[in-house]
Amino acid sequence: MSHELTIPAVGESIATATIGQWHKADGDYVRSGEVVLTIETDKISTELEADRDGVLRQVASEGDELEIGAVVATIEEGEAPAESDAEEPSARGTQEDESPGEGGTQSPAPQGGEAKATPVARRMADDRGVDLGSVTGTGAGGRVTKADVAAASATQSSEGPSTPPLSVVRPAGETAPEAAGGERTTRRKMTPLRRKIAEHLVNAQQSAAILTTFNECDMSRVMALRKEVQEDFVGRHGIKLGFMSFFIKAVVDALQAVPQVNARIEGDEIVENHFCDIGVAVGTERGLIVPVVCDCEGKSFAEIEQTIAGYAKAAREGTIQFDDLQGGVFTITNGGIYGSLLSTPILNPPQSGILGMHSIQERPVAVAGEVVIRPMMYLALSYDHRIVDGKEAVTFLVRVKDCIENPDRMLVGA
């Protein structure tokens, strides 16, 4: 008897999903509970498991975009093959992050056609300018994995960058010769997540009156406090005390002091929130996602750090859940980890505010009539001017600044 494997519903707002990677080949014998497929939506990646034992028959291919409920494969129930035939190529490792074990053989990528590679490996190769045809695949059936592309990219970098061609002014009517070594441009389809990000950003610009106000804060006392308690903090909680938990607590304080920022517009009504679920923007290989740390007003510094670390790990591994990205009344984004000195963050609708953190730089500042060198960070608050007035926005940002420059007050609730 044949049973259908379909795209499951993963969220109310998600109507389609893309076939990301098959972990089992067409014709493989699979057992109930084994992961056979990874699907990608505009928010998360989800693994699909076989719900019974049998032979897998693929109906869709990697890269296909299908509606929720569509059939992606069938499983034909039957007895397992004989032991001598049981070792399928997929059993030797199809996960992208696996490398061949001791004594394993490496199969070269097929010649005379498009190289076999996982979707993530293809995206990485495009981003890093790696020719998949020249990469030796270590995955099932010679498939090129992410690890293979990373190794090829490292080798390519160690050999040194090629010298770019000089720009030449040509006489009128003379055409440039064809580019050597391949096409001048690369065209690839946007991923569901990238399409959603693009749509989200455009909608934010068109549906809200976004304005940004700036300030700067002295990070001296936070840095000194972290250094003083870090060893004990790690010993007690098993995780480092980072800057993000301080800023989340500062934002909670500011949201409680200026409740207009903790509100949103729905039609002709203003909905004011009485809780502090804070979104933390996290960059991944697939794009930006914003997991939400719930009930921050009741969480300790350690609980906040542990929650953020768990989300970061799940985002890297592609296992973050749809519910983790739902809700949120305010967002914090840290461009400083990439070296940004100053930026104007875009709202995450329907939220009315987003705080941008930036690089910490030592700068001369005036303190008590003297010029001293202090570690300073620029802060940017973007807000929806339809619901938040300038006075309220400035008051909110100054409150965040005061909390960061006097972190002891947050610890005692002053």
Q: Are 254 and 400 in contact (CB under 8 A)?
A: yes
Question: 202: domain CATH number?
Answer: 3.30.559.10
Cα separation, 227 vs 221, in Å, equals 10
Same domain? 71 vs 218:
no
| pLDDT value of position 98 | 41
In a domain, 2, yes or no: yes
In a domain, 217, yes or no: yes
- The residues that are catalytic are 385, 389
- Tokens 């967002």 belong to which residue? 331
Identify the band that residue 114 occupies on the pLDDT scale cut at 50, 70 and 90. low
Min mean pLDDT across 86-95, 122-131, 133-142, 305-314 is at 86-95
Cα separation, 350 vs 228, in Å, equals 39
Q: Are 37 and 19 in contact (CB under 8 A)?
A: yes
- Tokens 């076989």 belong to which residue? 50
| pLDDT value of position 12 | 58
Same domain? 385 vs 341:
yes
Indicate the burial class of 262 (C-beta count within 10 angstroms; 0-12, 13-18, 19 or more): buried
Q: How many whole angstroms from its chain centre is CA 68?
A: 23
Same domain? 215 vs 143:
no
Residue 189: partners with Cβ closer than 8 Å, 6 or more residues away = 63
Question: 115: domain CATH number?
Answer: 4.10.320.10
* pLDDT over 90 (residue 62): no
Identify the band that residue 251 occupies on the pLDDT scale cut at 50, 70 and 90. very high
| pLDDT value of position 11 | 64
| pLDDT value of position 120 | 64
In a domain, 27, yes or no: yes
Identify the band that residue 84 occupies on the pLDDT scale cut at 50, 70 and 90. very low
Q: Are 279 and 328 in contact (CB under 8 A)?
A: yes
| pLDDT value of position 385 | 96
Same domain? 141 vs 60:
no
Indicate the burial class of 157 (C-beta count within 10 angstroms; 0-12, 13-18, 19 or more): exposed
Same domain? 62 vs 129:
no
Question: 83: domain CATH number?
Answer: 2.40.50.100
Q: How many whole angstroms from its chain centre is CA 20?
A: 16
Residue 24: partners with Cβ closer than 8 Å, 6 or more residues away = 30, 34, 36, 37, 50, 56, 88, 90, 94
In a domain, 405, yes or no: yes
Average pLDDT of span 111-134:
69
Q: In the predicted model, what is the mean pLDDT of the chain?
A: 81
Cα separation, 12 vs 413, in Å, equals 39
How does pLDDT run across 30-54, given as a tens digit for each residue?
888 888 888 877 667 778 888 888 8
Same domain? 198 vs 307:
yes
Helix (H) or strand (E) holding 226, with range, is helix 220-237
Min mean pLDDT across 62-66, 114-118, 259-263, 380-384 is at 114-118
| pLDDT value of position 201 | 83
How does pLDDT run across 173-213, given as a tens digit for each residue?
445 555 445 678 988 877 777 777 788 789 888 889 999 99
| pLDDT value of position 342 | 94
Same domain? 13 vs 63:
yes
pTM of the full structure:
0.62
How does pLDDT run across 225-247, given as a tens digit for each residue?
999 999 999 999 999 999 999 99
How does pLDDT run across 264-279, given as a tens digit for each residue?
999 999 999 999 999 9
In a domain, 250, yes or no: yes
* pLDDT over 60 (residue 293): yes
Identify the band that residue 119 occupies on the pLDDT scale cut at 50, 70 and 90. low
Identify the band that residue 129 occupies on the pLDDT scale cut at 50, 70 and 90. confident
Residue type, 105: T
Domain count, the chain: 3
In a domain, 179, yes or no: no
Average pLDDT of span 281-310:
89
Residue with the larger pLDDT of the pair 5 and 105: 5
| pLDDT value of position 163 | 42
Cα separation, 262 vs 329, in Å, equals 6
Same domain? 377 vs 328:
yes
* pLDDT over 70 (residue 82): no
Same domain? 240 vs 383:
yes
- Report which of 33, 31, 21 is spatially closest to residue 55, judged by C-alpha positions: 31
| pLDDT value of position 149 | 76
Q: Is residue 133 helix, strand or coil?
A: helix
**Alpha-helical regions (H) of 282-389:** 301-317
| pLDDT value of position 326 | 85
Same domain? 254 vs 328:
yes
What domain range includes position 230?
Answer: 193-412
The domain boundary, picked from 93, 118, 146, lies at 93
Average pLDDT of span 350-368:
95
Identify the band that residue 94 occupies on the pLDDT scale cut at 50, 70 and 90. very low
Same domain? 398 vs 285:
yes
In a domain, 7, yes or no: yes
Residue with the larger pLDDT of the pair 306 and 314: 306
Q: Are 324 and 239 in contact (CB under 8 A)?
A: no
| pLDDT value of position 306 | 96
In a domain, 355, yes or no: yes
Same domain? 217 vs 352:
yes
